[in-house]
Amino acid sequence: MKIIMLGAPGAGKGTQAKQIAAKYEIPHISTGDIFRANIKNGTELGKKAKEYMDQGMLVPDELTCDLVMDRIAQDDCERGFVLDGFPRTIPQAEALTNALTKIGQSMDYAIDVDVPDENIVNRMSGRRACLNCGATYHIVFNPTKAEGVCDACGNETVLRDDDKPETVQKRLSVYHDQTQPLIDYYKEQNILKSVDGTKPMDEVFSDIVAILGE
């Protein structure tokens, strides 16, 4: 079962991807994890990726796709995998499709966790993070026991720059420009399935399971 997760930043696709991976016992693959693992292990692909990242540049699509293909060629992906954060653009999607076609494979599902922009801005601006231990909270959905104080370590919790409404709006506009077209791309391939991401997380997961099957 080969699955791509789609959805705007803050839509909750990462959380759903982890739950899918756990339920169906397939790896959860995020490009960030792949980059880190290859750089840490000093692989040839990792060294190439690091050159770009050290200069603050995006890793080129072809190299990113090579890293993903290298990861899904590993034994633990034999029964499938969940891709989270890749592809982000049409060129990346086309590179992935072509690379899979060469080995006689194709994706089974592209699941879009659909959440309106307004909900995402509200959701993300309610996030709070502890800069000391990394714990994250939400002032409505997962508040700290004492306001502004981390439950885990007692340090102050803050609204990160990434989660400020103006930053979220910018990230959403990039998403709509670059990633939204993927929805049409996978619709044309007849593998797109949408779920309502405004529902509670466990209901969203139930909807996904209804698509994928028990």
Domains in the chain: boundaries: 2-116+178-212
- Are 34 and 43 within 8 A, CB to CB? no
| Neighbouring residues of 189: CB distance < 8 A, sequence distance ≥ 6 | 97, 107, 110
Distance separating alpha carbons of residues 31 and 201, to the nearest angstrom: 23
Q: Check 2, 123, 127, 128 and give the catalytic one.
A: 127
Q: Check 2, 13, 123, 128 and give the catalytic one.
A: 13
Beta strands in the chain (DSSP E): 2-6, 28-30, 81-84, 109-114, 127-130, 136-138, 157-158, 192-196
88 a catalytic residue: yes
160 a catalytic residue: yes
127 a catalytic residue: yes
Could you say which architecture CATH assigns to the domain 2-116+178-212?
A: 3-Layer(aba) Sandwich (3.40)
What pLDDT score was predicted for residue 55? 85
What pLDDT score was predicted for residue 23? 97
What pLDDT score was predicted for residue 54? 85
13 a catalytic residue: yes
Q: Check 18, 50, 160, 187 and give the catalytic one.
A: 160
Q: Check 2, 71, 88, 128 and give the catalytic one.
A: 88
What pLDDT score was predicted for residue 117? 94
Q: Check 18, 50, 164, 171 and give the catalytic one.
A: 171
What pLDDT score was predicted for residue 162? 84
∠ CA 37-39-44 to the nearest 5 degrees?
A: 110
pTM summary value: 0.83
What pLDDT score was predicted for residue 174? 86
Kindly give the parts of the chain with pLDDT less than 50. Answer: none
